[in-house]
Amino acid sequence: MGRGISLRPWSFLPSVIFVLMLLCIPYVTAADQSDPAVPQELSGKAGIEHIDLSWFQPFQGASGLENYSVYRGSGPEDMERIDNVTVNLTAYHDGDLAEGTTYFYFVTSWYNGTESAPSNALAITTGTEPERENLFTLGVVLAIVIAAIAMQIAIVAIWVLIRK
């Protein structure tokens, strides 16, 4: 009889997988363009009247990235944009802040005119200067101790001179 085409079981599977992958490529590309990536791992370090923020570039990368927006508020519900940062920077210095005050931050990225979702939120409290009264008290105590040591040295020196 005639020869027919013989298919091994599952021999068509690689072709099906390849076609499915091709069908998914436009979907992934469209999703990336309509939903910009989020800045990663926002962190901060507080000074007495400032906070320094830093973050990592979104996983999506710099292609199409326009800038970052930095948001600050006194609580998570009242965040306002305070500045825009160029794409070359992933850090921000927020100065002239009140001592001992908690501030909330997040950062967004802008891709082709579209703002991303917010980064992780950060609550950070500025430091405070040590109380000046404590520093004054410490200075007075140190002065008394140094004066007492100087007096002891003087007494020993006089005693040595008299004994000669």
Q: First CA to last CA across the chain, in angstroms?
A: 136
Token representation of residue 11 = 């021999």
Q: Which CATH class is domain 36-125?
A: mainly beta
> What is the pLDDT at residue 137?
75
> Domain-by-domain residue ranges, the chain?
36-125, 131-159
The CA radius of gyration of the chain, in Å to the nearest whole number, is 34
CA distance 85 to 93: 11
The pair of three-digit structure tokens given for residue 62, joined into one six-digit string: 């710099």
pTM, two decimals, is 0.59
Q: Give 47-80 pLDDT, tens digit per residue.
A: 999 999 999 988 766 677 889 999 999 988 899 9
Say what the pLDDT of residue 158 is: 86
Nearest-angstrom CA–CA distance, 41 and 101: 22
Q: For residue range 13-40, list pLDDT tens digits in order.
A: 666 666 556 555 544 433 343 346 899 9
Burial (CB count within 10 angstroms: exposed 0-12, middle 13-18, buried 19+), residue 103: buried
Tokens found for residue 22: 């091709």
Q: Which helix (H) or strand (E) covers residue 111, if one does? A: strand 102-111
pLDDT tens digits, one per residue of 104-157: 999 999 988 889 999 999 999 999 887 555 667 777 788 888 888 888 888 888
